[in-house]
Chain A
Amino acid sequence: MKQSGIAIACDGIGLTYATKAGSPIVALRDVHCRFEPGRVTAIIGPSGCGKSTLLQIARGLLLPSIGSLQYLDVANSKASSRPPRMATVWQAFNLFPWRTVLENVTFGLELARISGADRTTRARHALAKVELTGFENKYPRQLSGGMRQRVGLARALVMEPEILLLDEPFGSLDAQTRLVLQEQLAHLVDISGTTAILVTHSIEEAILLADTVLVMTSRPGRVAATIGVSLPRPRSLATTNAPGYAALFDQIYGLLRAEVLKAMAIEVEGA
């Protein structure tokens, strides 16, 4: 079956930003990658390698200093006239604290001028998907970290994005909550065939969720390797015992280890 949808192609992307201290910092250099529709791509790399920056460039919230970003209509294999619809789930949740759960989820729909009744229906549906029915009128501060991130997920899903962007979505949650949410997200990805880009520190998370893993170098970030994950779906925690998992883990860890050591050296220099 031929895939349809819009791919994002990064061609030689670099980003340099000025600092007050003087010497500019090169965050990304010569990044080539492609985010294919219908696939989940994980970006993994050491701290400060520019993974989240790359995600924001792909989203169009940040302009690269050099290189080009292209949206490609895969079915006709030509440039797309419009970017795909995208929505982001953030590590720090970034929920609006003065809005209730429901109002947080309807935020993007309000901006899209969807009528009131429609907004509520769609938001309730999205909240049901992340199992938060009954919490519509709570405020974010009244929820646990895991529940807050499910609100964040519902807020993104309600926009019906063609590409879901996940920026270390479970990074600020405790280990147990993280496991459960990873499994729930893996399930969601399995049933919906969503296109997603996942930025993560966790090799396990990358393997559990992704079809393709991009391993990045330490700063300035480049794509060191592109690794396909062909473990069968649906995946769950049990996948970590599946044949092939350990080899993949070792392969990614082997690539990362050297880069993480380099990143640590950069941090010491900077400090």
Chain B
Amino acid sequence: MDVVGYSLKEEEIKEIVSKLEAFRSSLFLDLVVLMDDGGRLIAYSPYVDGQRPIAYRVAVVGAATVGAVDQLESIISSKRHMFFAGTDKNMYIHVISPKFLLASVFSHKVPLGSVKLFKEKLSKDLASILDKALSRMEKKVIRFEDIAL
């Protein structure tokens, strides 16, 4: 059975969101998403309700793409990051630890080099929080009878 091997406290998620927000606003990025390797959405910026479905999709598809590209690993030998150049926007996904991934969405006006440079610092900042989370297991319990379905 898949057990989520980490647990983030409310205050840690707030701290992560504020770090993502600082990263996003300083580089003028459109969207930053932190997810785990299974595509579970952890945090995103800008942290507004309208962005949640988009962030959720980025998390699932981003992690699935990294998972699928793993199958090409012997050919391209690069699982640390992926870059997608779109017509209007770009997406850069990098693996910040074996368990966690960060996706940044930005316009062509933003140089990829600056995203690569500043994500290093962000990764280090997030590492201490995520390492602590990895040492805890998820214990949230919701029963079927609790769900409004």
Partners in one complex: no
Question: A: which residues have CB within 8 A of B?
Answer: none
